[in-house]
Amino acid sequence: MEAGTPPATGVDVLIAEDSRMQARILQKRLSDAGHTVRWAENGQAALELARERRPDIIISDIEMPVATGYDFCKAVKTDPALRSVPFILLSTLSDPIDIIRGLDAGADNYVTKPYEPDYLLGRMQALLATPLGGDDDASAAMLEVTLAGQKFRVKAGRQQVLNLLVSTFENAVAKNQELVVANQELSVARDSLQKSNEELTVLNAEISRYNAQMVRDLEAAAKVQRSLLPPDDVSLPALGVAWRYVPCHSLAGDFLNIFSLDPERVGLFVVDVSGHGVPSSLMAVTVGRFLTPKISDSSILVRQGLDGQVVVATPAEVATHLNQLFQADEFSGLYFTMLYGVLHLPTGRLDYVSGGHPALVRVPATGGPPEFHGAEGFPIAFVPEIEYEQKSLQLAPGDRIYLYSDGVPEAMDKDQEPYGDEQMAACIEGGRNIPLDASVARLLTAVETWCQPAGPLDDVSILGVEWKP
Amino acid sequence: MDQFRRIQTGKKGDIHMVLFKDKKILDDVMLDEIKTEITQLLGKASGPDVLLDFSNVEFMSSAMLGLLGQLHRKISSGQGRLKMCSIRPEIFQVFKLTNLDKLFSIHKDAPAALATFT
């Protein structure tokens, strides 16, 4: 092939193509380039056109009805009058066997589909500039080719093999270039992905920082909450005290306490703020500020009387007062249940009030079954301007009482079955002859076992008290 | 009517009927959505009559009671009436434990509840 070959014009081109649309596009391009174009829609018709007038070059599709491109090609290449006409096969070259078939049919050139019309024109001109010359039967030898494990015997001339080889190679180069471009695009995409990744890493680090800050804040809040609980070594005269408190998150809505109000009286309570998490725990801390035995502006349990004596508020007064305090203009939707009692140590009389809280359980020292003692009353902060009913329970020496949050009887097992009052009472009764602390621990273990494998979904609070005058 | 995600609504005369779609009303986000949707539904209507239908609800957090309390307060301050129906026993237990079965007007099913509005 010489460089600078002038583009051939006035070439007589024969197209075999069953797609009218594709034929039309190709026909237009070739006509525009100054060539004469004839078109047939199958190999059979194309062969007839070729015999009618010998074309300068043939471009043929492969998949066609009546006669395929291979059949057509073979017919041209075995026709002495037509065999020297260059023959271009349009192939998808999806199967290596296509090359063997093309060789066998005697095709001179391959152009892979889909093709650029300019590329096809260039190919055509190159082929016309390299006349097929003297390839005849003499130089056409039987070749044996092994491809994909199959042996093929094909008869092909040297020039033909060379042309086909070059066209296959050129096709490969063109495909390779497409691959290079695709690769570059991929590489650009990869770079931008990497950049996004780096940004994500930065964001992640930021989130981690915020998270760490939040964990610290929550820990601080949890510490404040723990200050609402009795000291571990709580010790009160004439009383045994044991308690357990297991928040289901780091912050709880539950809290409990027991303390001396004056030399003769002990105050005790369990509070359960609705919901969980920060809002509930904030409310718990706020409530806790009012439920303090230290005489202060905030305590509603005790105050200094006119005569300098400590005045202890009755449980009903405490509940009614709290209910007033927590009625904001717009009810926040947060409320709490509470069982608050005042135990008179010399007599063993327990005055108590319930704001929507589960009943306390008494285990009589005399050996009778456990008893539930509750009082009616709506949760605190729920309904404005109500008075709370106060009840009294006379304890006998050695009696135990258990206060708890609804996390105990309402603890759900894996089938959503609640632990229930009955099992709770039975568990408490089963612990009547073991030390108070062990009996409280026993109840907590029973609840935690009940909720396996998920564990309690609510805060669990238990306060056990034994009167030992 | 699929205007809301958490509640299905209808009207019987002047009574707003609200059916909770969810089986479980547990987390705060869901509660907020329910609250927003009911607020949107009732709008500025002063003292509407409302019936809450719990047919679908199998589990409910105690915080839902707080939302009911808010509704109760809002509706009764405007001379409206809030009623509830079709509360299954497990859920009713939550009301009972907190004594709120005595605060709210709770009925067996929708027809029974509707009959009490007249």
Q: Give me chain A's average pLDDT, please.
A: 87
* pLDDT at residue A241 is higher than 90: yes
Cα angle A249, A234, A406; round to 5: 40
Residues of chain A with CATH 3.60.40.10: 228-467
List the one residue out of A370, A362, A393, A364 whose CA is nearest residue A464. Answer: A362
The answer for residues whose C-beta is within 8 angstroms of residue A323's C-beta and 6 or more apart is: A355, A380, A381, A382, A383, A384, A386, A388
- The reported pLDDT for the residue numbered A440 is 97
Q: Is residue A248 pLDDT above 90, yes or no?
A: no
Q: What is the mean pLDDT of residues A87-104?
A: 79
**Could you report how far apart the first and last alpha carbons of chain A are, in Å?**
121
Q: Decide if A369 contacts A315 (C-beta within 8 A).
A: no
Residue to mutate among B33, B82, B97, B104, with most A CBs inside 10 A, is: B97
Q: How far apart are CA A179 and CA A174, in angstroms?
A: 9
What's the gap in Å between the CA of A395 and the closest CA on chain B? Answer: 24
Return d(Cα A221, Cα A323) in angstroms, integer.
24
Q: Yes or no: is domain A228-467 CATH 3.60.40.10?
A: yes
Higher pLDDT, A250 or A262: A262
What are the chain B neighbours of A331 within 8 Å (beta carbons)?
66, 69-70, 73
Any domain includes B43:
yes
A407-427: average pLDDT: 92
Contact between A250 and A223 under an 8 Å Cβ cutoff? The reply is no
Confidence at A1, pLDDT banded by 50, 70, 90: very low
Taking CA atoms, what residue in A is nearest to B95?
A356
End-to-end CA distance of chain B: 26
Q: Does A418 touch chain B (CB under 8 A)?
A: yes
Whole-angstrom distance, CA of residue B54 vs CA of residue B72: 16
Please name the member of B65, B73, B99 whose beta carbon is closest to the beta carbon of A274: B65
- Please report which confidence band the pLDDT of residue A420 belongs to, taking 50, 70 and 90 as the band edges: very high
Q: For domain A12-185, which architecture applies?
A: 3-Layer(aba) Sandwich (3.40)
pLDDT score recorded for residue A2? 40
Task: Tell if the CB–CB gap between A356 and B98 is shorter than 8 Å.
Answer: yes
CA angle centred on A183, ends A182 and A184, rounded to 5°: 90
pLDDT above 90 as % of chain A:
50
Q: How many CB pairs under 8 A join A and B?
A: 67
Determine, yes or no, domain membership for B2: no
- The answer to the question of residue B1 being in a domain is no
- Reported as a single tens digit per residue, the pLDDT across A286-327 is 899 899 998 888 899 999 888 888 899 999 999 999 999 988
Report residue A68 as tokens. 């395929």
pLDDT of A164: 75
Position A114 scores a pLDDT of 77
A281 pLDDT more than 80: yes
Domain count, chain B: 1
Q: Is position B68 within any domain?
A: yes
CB-based contacts of A315: which residues, under 8 Å, 6+ apart?
A340, A341, A342, A351, A352, A353, A388, A390
The DSSP line for B59-118 is EE-HHHHHHHHHHHHHHHHTT--EEEE---HHHHHHHHHTTGGGTSEEESSHHHHHHTT-
The CA–CA distances, whole Å, from A198 to A26, A134, A195, A202, B5 equal 50, 66, 5, 6, 37
Residue A193: what pLDDT?
A: 93
Asked if A331 lies within 8 A of B70 by C-beta distance, the reply is yes
> Which chain A residues contact residue B63 at CB under 8 A?
274-275, 333-334
Q: How many CB atoms lie within 10 A of CB A104?
A: 19
In chain A, list all ranges with CATH 3.40.50.2300.
12-185
Q: How high is the pLDDT of residue A3?
A: 42
**Cα separations in angstroms, A393 against A136, A346, A401, B101:** 124, 14, 10, 25
Tell me whether the omega of the peptide bond preceding residue B111 falls within 30 degrees of 0, making it cis. Answer: no
Closest CA to A448 of A194, A248, A254, A292: A248
- Whole-model pTM: value is 0.66
Average pLDDT (A22-40) is 90
C-alpha A435/C-alpha A115 separation (Å) is 93
- Provide CB contacts within 8 A for A204, sequence distance 6+: none
Write b or e for each residue in A304-323: b if 16 or more Cβ atoms lie within 10 A of its Cβ, otherwise e.
Answer: eeeeeeeebbebbbbbbbbb
For the purposes of burial, counting CB atoms within 10 Å of the CB of A231, is it exposed (0-12), middle (13-18) or buried (19 or more)?
Answer: exposed
Helix pair angle (A69-77, A97-105), 10° resolution: 30
Residue A162's pLDDT is what?
75
* Strand partners for B51: B17, B83
Q: Above 90 in pLDDT, residue B18?
A: yes
Separation CA B75–CA B78 (nearest Å) = 5
Residues of B at the A interface (Cβ-Cβ below 8 Å)? 28, 31, 35, 58-59, 61-63, 65-67, 69-70, 73, 90, 93-94, 97-100, 102-103
Q: Report the CATH number that the domain containing residue B102 is assigned in CATH.
A: 3.30.750.24
Per-residue CA distances from A127 to A47, A80, A131, A269 (Å): 20, 19, 7, 102
The domain in which residue B60 lies consists of 7-115
- C-alpha to C-alpha distances, A451 to A88, A296, A304, B8, B60, nearest whole angstrom: 79, 41, 46, 33, 17
**pLDDT at position A192, please?**
92
The lowest-confidence range among A356-360, A400-404, B66-70 is B66-70
| pLDDT class of A139 with cuts at 50, 70, 90 | low
